[in-house]
Amino acid sequence: MLFPDTSLDAAIEHGESLRSAIQERALPHATSPTASSVTVSIGVASCHPSALDDPKALMQAADQALYRAKESGRNRVKAGTAGRHESTMTPLD
């Protein structure tokens, strides 16, 4: 999801609201090796448009944050930023 004109904190709140709503539904996930109900891991990234040379960098930062969420135990929101000349995400925890 894209949230134009949204701060990183607000985007994290949106992600956490989505994660929490899915968890509260307690949808059965009988075939999952990690959880008995459906959960979601979310990667959030933020940038200022003037600091972004390559729009793909924003997607890469969100993807890296997603993998950090999964590696940290799943069912959580992790965030980072993408900006000019950054080859990797700046983690925010």
Instruction: Write down the domain spans for the chain.
Output: 8-84
* Residue 11 backbone dihedrals phi, psi, to 5 degrees: -65, -40
For position 41, what pLDDT does the model report? 96
φ, ψ of residue 28 in degrees (nearest 5)? -60, 140
Burial of 30 (0-12, 13-18, 19+ CB in 10 A): exposed
CA of residue 89 relative to chain centroid, distance: 12
Position 52 scores a pLDDT of 75
Q: What is the pTM of this model?
A: 0.81
Residue 30 has pLDDT above 80, yes or no: yes
Give the pLDDT confidence of 71-86 residue by residue, as tens digits.
999 999 999 887 643 4
Long-range contacts of 53-58 (CB under 8 A, 24+ apart): 53/84, 53/85, 57/82, 57/83, 57/86, 58/82
pLDDT, tens digit (0-9, with 9 covering 90-100), for 40-71: 999 999 888 777 777 888 899 999 999 999 99
1 or 84: which carries more pLDDT confidence? Answer: 1
